[in-house]
Structure 1
Amino acid sequence: MTIDDTSPTGLWQAAGDGRFRLEADAARECAAHYGWIAEELTARIGEARELNRLSGFGGFDSAQQLQGGFEGKAQQAVDALTGARQTCRELQAAVLRAGGLLAEQDLTTAAAMIHHAEKVS
C-alpha cells in the first residue's frame, strides 16, 4: 500500500479507493483516540478564549499595547487549536472509513466536512 498524500484528505481518499484499510477494531481504537484529542482541544480552546478579554493592564498606551498583544496571541492560539481539532475530526473520519465503519449517510457528511475544511484552509 502506497499513500503519497498523508493529509486527512489524502487518507480519506485512499480509504475510499481501498489503498488505506484498517481492521474494524483498529479503526475504532484510532477513531476513539482522535475523538479524545479533539475533546481535549475543545477544552483548551475554551481556556484560550478566556484570554481574549484581559484586564488590569492600566491606562497607559504601552500597557494597552501590551494587553492587545497578549489578546492577539490568545486569538492565534484559538485559531491554531481550532485547526488542530478539525484535523483530528478529519482523521477520525478517515480511519473510520478505512475500517469500513461509516454508513452511506455518514460518508456524505464526513466528505462534506473535509471538503469544507479544504476550502477554509
Structure 2
Amino acid sequence: MAIGGDAAARLWNAASSGQLTMEPDAAREVAQAYLRFAAMCDGWAKEATHLKSIHGFGSLKSAQQLQLGFASKAESAEQVLKQMASAARGMADGYLQAAGILGEADQLNGAALTAIGQ
C-alpha cells in the first residue's frame, strides 16, 4: 500500500464502524490541517516534476549520467509526495467520517487551498 495508506484505511474503518467518533468542530480542524498538508504536497510534487527536466549538465557521459540521476530522484520525490497527499486526504476523510460530516470534505478542501494561496 502507498505511503500512509494503511493508517488512512485503519482510521476510515474505525470511523465507519463507530469505534472512533469526534465532535464536528474538532474533526473539521484536524481535517483542515490534513487538507492543507495535502495541498502543500501537491505543490511540492509539481516542483519535483519541473526538476525532472533540468538541463545544463554538459555533454560528457558523466554529466548526462548525473542529469539522469537527478531526474530519477525528482521522479521518486514526485511519487512519494503524491502518495503523501493522497494519504492526507484519506486521513481528513476519516476524521470527517468520525464526526458524521463527510459531506463537508469538498468545502474544507477549498478552504485549505485558499489558506495556502493556490
**Range of TM-score over shorter length:** 0.7 to 0.9
Q: Which runs of 5+ in 1 are unaligned?
A: 1-5, 107-121
Measured against aligned partners, the alpha-carbon deviations of 1:50-77 in whole angstroms (never above 9, x if no partner) come to 1010100111111100000000000010
Query: Which whole-Å CA distance do the structure 1 matches of 2:41 and 2:79 have between them?
Result: 11
Unaligned 5+ segments in structure 2 are 1-5, 106-118
What secondary structure sits across from 1:7 in the alignment?
A: helix
1:13 corresponds in structure 2 to 13
3-state secondary structure, aligned to 2:102: coil
Q: Percent identity?
A: 37
Q: RMSD of aligned C-alpha atoms? A: 1.3
Name the TM-score, length of structure 2 as normaliser: 0.80
* Matching residue of 2:36: 36
Q: Residue 76 of structure 2 corresponds to which residue in structure 1?
A: 76
TM-score, scaled relative to structure 1:
0.78
* In structure 2, distance between residues paired with 1:17 and 1:72: 41
Q: What is aligned with 2:50?
A: 50
| Per-residue deviation, residues 41-99 of structure 1 (Å, max 9, x unmatched) | 11111111110101001111111000000000000100110110000010011000001
Which structure shows the higher helix fraction?
Answer: 2
Alpha-carbon offset, residue 7 of structure 1: 1.2
